Structure 1
Amino acid sequence: MSAQRVAVVTGGSRGIGRAIATTLAARGFAVVVGYQGAASAAAEVVDAVTSAGGRAIAAQADVADENAVAAMFDAAEKEFGGIDVVVNSAGRLSLSPIADLDLDDLDALHRTNIRGTFVTAREAARRVRDGGTIITMSTSIVGLQLPTYGAYVASKGAVEAMTLVLARELRGRQITVNAVAPGPTATELFLDGKDETTVERMAKQPPLERLGTPEDIAEVVAFLASPAGHWINGQVVRANGGIV
């Protein structure tokens, strides 16, 4: 029997990250559920995985803190023996017209979405076993260019560019590197502050005429992390029901 594959999922305590963690666990991965502050939510994910017969631990880390991220990877290697897949699902969203943008909000977005992705990807590039997978998270709004999303899409545009460079840098190790870019997805982060009319309008935009679900995105990630998805490399996969 081959050794169990191991996945580290940042932002794994809620929303899309939670769905990714539980989906990968259902596919047979041992999972490290990375979280920043939601310890009880991360514990719930671990309990869900272990109750279903899987293996999981929670690991606290601010993704922008290189020492904390290194410690999270250390925990993964100590508990499970190595790392095969890293999914950086931790992210921050802040909305404002560019003319009114609070630069403190811009700096916070930069710290989590850009620096956090770089720190996690740097550690992944050093530690993921040959033949593994690194997945970052972007957004389909990079293509939609919706008003008030300027700072957010600027951060995710940087994520996409970095992801494509890293894919080329890992030549020779059989490691794939891709970004997944969800469209409007029914998470707490997305629904917060939106009225019912706005949500219904956005749900009608894709030809499939609904919002995505966290599970929709998790299935794309699981495919990319599987042997079946290993020929996809250095790509931005727009998982949005055909909206763009």
Structure 2
Amino acid sequence: MSNSKFRSALFGYNKKDIFTYIEELTQLFESTIKEKDTKLTALTNENAQLKAKLSDAQADSKMIDDAKRHMGEAIIKAEQQSRRIIEEAHILFDTKRENIERQVEERKLELAQAKKELAAFRASTLEVMHLVSEKLITLIDQEDAKAAPSNMEAQAYPTEAQAPIDTPDKTYAPYTPPADVENERPRQSFNFFEDDEEETVDEMFDMEEKVAVNDSSRGIYILKD
């Protein structure tokens, strides 16, 4: 357009050339403007797409950040819960262990007390049995002392002989008086003091299950060995 030449006329340049130049120049500007508008539209569309992608990326980034935050909170919460569960388990275990140990100690004390009471009862029982044994021996001695003068009087003053009675032809064995009480059976001793530290409760009271024998010659009862 800068090389265009206008023809001269009577009153100056040729108007037709001028108009043609202006029209060409206008078309050139319009074409340039349209081209620029096309590029601008393309850039605008591209910019819009980029903005949409950026928005999506920001949304995805936010979602990822939220997911990371939630995962971190969940992990922290799980760790806290696991630590709390472990601590509660330790506390429960320690409590049960202490209860068991306390019960064991209580049972040991009860057993020791029971052993003491059993030993005291055993000593008391043996003492009573010893006193009973001595009392029985004393009574036996008294009965023997009373029976001795009676036997001597019977021998010193015999009874009068009775007249014979007619009886059939039968023979009878002569009457034999009973032997002296002291010679009939040796005196029985009572030994209730056996050194047996391992004797149990059942063994201690086995004596109660022994059969009492009736000594009719002395009129008393003694324990069977």
Q: Which TM bucket (shorter chain)? A: under 0.3
> Could you say which structure has the larger radius of gyration?
2
- Normalised by the size of structure 2, how large is the TM-score? 0.18
Q: Which has the higher strand share?
A: 1
